[in-house]
Amino acid sequence: MKSIRKITAMLLAAVFVFMGASQMQTKEVSAAAAVKGTWVSFLDIQTMLRGKPQGAFDQSFQTICATVAANGGNAVFVHVRSHNDAIYPSNIYPWSTQMLNGANPGFDPLADMVQIAHASGLKFHAWINPYGFRNGAYAGNAALANNANIVAGVAEIVTKYPVDGIHFDDYFPPLGAANLNSMIAQVHQVCAANGKVFGIAPQGNVENNLRMGADVATWLSVPGYIDYIAPQIYWTDNYGAGANVAMSSQRLAQWRGLNKIGIPMYVGMALYRCGSPVAGDPGWMRANNNLALQAQKAASLGYSGYILYNATSELMPNAGQQAELANLRAAW
């Protein structure tokens, strides 16, 4: 079975990259429209899906979509591959251990979620941890964490499901910039060939990204890598022991300065931190308009949207999160 999956992945990757680069006509893709998104992580999904029947899961995801829409959102970025496994039937990856206990649920959760999101008026972006790499190690079957599988896995999604895009986050192993860039360019080709947008949400610290091989400077200065970027700017402008460092604004400007070719930019914002004490960043407790101010600053710099982490904080907000969401709706 492993050898069959490996051969399938290699063939799919080669076919789709070739078609995207040559004979297949690339459809028009735009990521420039304003995005008001929410990340729905595997941690959100596992509480809804593990051991649950299809009807109960669908109802839970409908509640997420209704909540996002009520808060002014227009997109969800949903984990579909997090630990070198999948939340949908795949020829490459086994069923998800974190979201499904590694067992076939008897239905296709991805198909259901795409249909529910679209019926709720939301775009659906399939969120992938490409290498299943987190906390310094590969999760699940490390043998699956290779570029051929990643590209073929993306092709599998964009050809089988009417998703609106493919989304990577900030978990990259130390493979070197050239290796990662090769994979990212191939993924972009496959997405473009199928009329889907492709973007990445790197961690907010530019220097950390570059040290680990996430070549954000190239992605934002050379065409053919990404359709948008959503750096995770998880700080306030009252950062530091004296609450006098405008860290959020500084990071927003730094990322904007890297963008040499007009790639659409969305700011990733930390709803989950609102109203709670965060070491070194007292701003989260000092005010209830941190997200609104961050969004306004981002808009003034040319950002065209935001993504909130995470869905649970929207479904069950504390008092601080409720106030922050209300102020954000009023601001953008």
Is residue 132 scored above 80 in pLDDT? Answer: yes
Q: Which amino acid is at 43?
A: L
Q: Over the stretch 240-290, which tens digit does the pLDDT of each residue have?
A: 999 999 999 999 999 999 999 999 999 999 999 999 999 999 999 999 999
- Under a CB-based contact definition with an 8 Å cutoff, are residues 328 and 295 in contact? yes
Q: Over the stretch 195-233, which tens digit does the pLDDT of each residue have?
A: 999 999 999 999 999 999 999 999 999 999 999 999 999
Whether 273 is in a domain gets the answer yes
pLDDT mean over 3-10: 50
Handedness of CA 246, 247, 248, 250 (dihedral sign): positive
* E strand residue ranges, the chain: 35-40, 75-81, 123-128, 133-134, 137-138, 165-168, 197-200, 228-229, 267-269, 305-309
Give the structural domain span for 291. 2-13+35-331
Q: What is the pTM of this model?
A: 0.91
- Under a CB-based contact definition with an 8 Å cutoff, are residues 265 and 213 in contact? no
Cα 121 from Cα 228, distance rounded (Å) = 21
Residue 174's nearest CA partner among 149, 208, 200, 140 is 208
Q: Over the stretch 137-194, which tens digit does the pLDDT of each residue have?
A: 999 999 999 999 999 999 999 999 999 999 999 999 999 999 999 999 999 999 999 9
At residue 26, the pLDDT reads 35
In the chain, how many domains are there? 1
The 3-state DSSP class for residue 152 equals helix
Cα 227 from Cα 110, distance rounded (Å) = 23
Q: Which amino acid is at 243?
A: A
List all residues 6 or more positions away from 165 whose beta carbon is below 8 Å from its beta carbon.
Answer: 31, 123, 125, 126, 191, 196, 197, 198, 199, 227
Whether 90 is in a domain gets the answer yes
Mean pLDDT, the chain, integer: 92
Whether 84 is in a domain gets the answer yes
Pairing of strands 267-269, 75-81: unpaired
Q: Percentage of residues in the chain with pLDDT exceeding 90?
A: 89
Whether 167 is in a domain gets the answer yes
At residue 332, the pLDDT reads 87
Whether 259 is in a domain gets the answer yes
Cα 52 from Cα 46, distance rounded (Å) = 10
Q: What is the CATH number of the domain that holds 127?
A: 3.20.20.80
Position with higher pLDDT, 221 vs 32: 221
Whether 18 is in a domain gets the answer no
Find how far residue 69's CA is from the centre of its chain: 18
Whether 30 is in a domain gets the answer no
At residue 18, the pLDDT reads 44
Q: Over the stretch 38-81, which tens digit does the pLDDT of each residue have?
A: 999 999 999 999 999 999 999 999 999 999 999 999 999 999 99
Cα 113 from Cα 161, distance rounded (Å) = 10
Whether 20 is in a domain gets the answer no
Q: Which residue has the tokens 């308009």?
A: 289
At residue 32, the pLDDT reads 55
- Under a CB-based contact definition with an 8 Å cutoff, are residues 174 and 213 in contact? yes
List all residues 6 or more positions away from 211 whose beta carbon is below 8 Å from its beta carbon.
Answer: none
At residue 12, the pLDDT reads 52
Helices (H), 212-289: 216-219, 247-258, 283-286
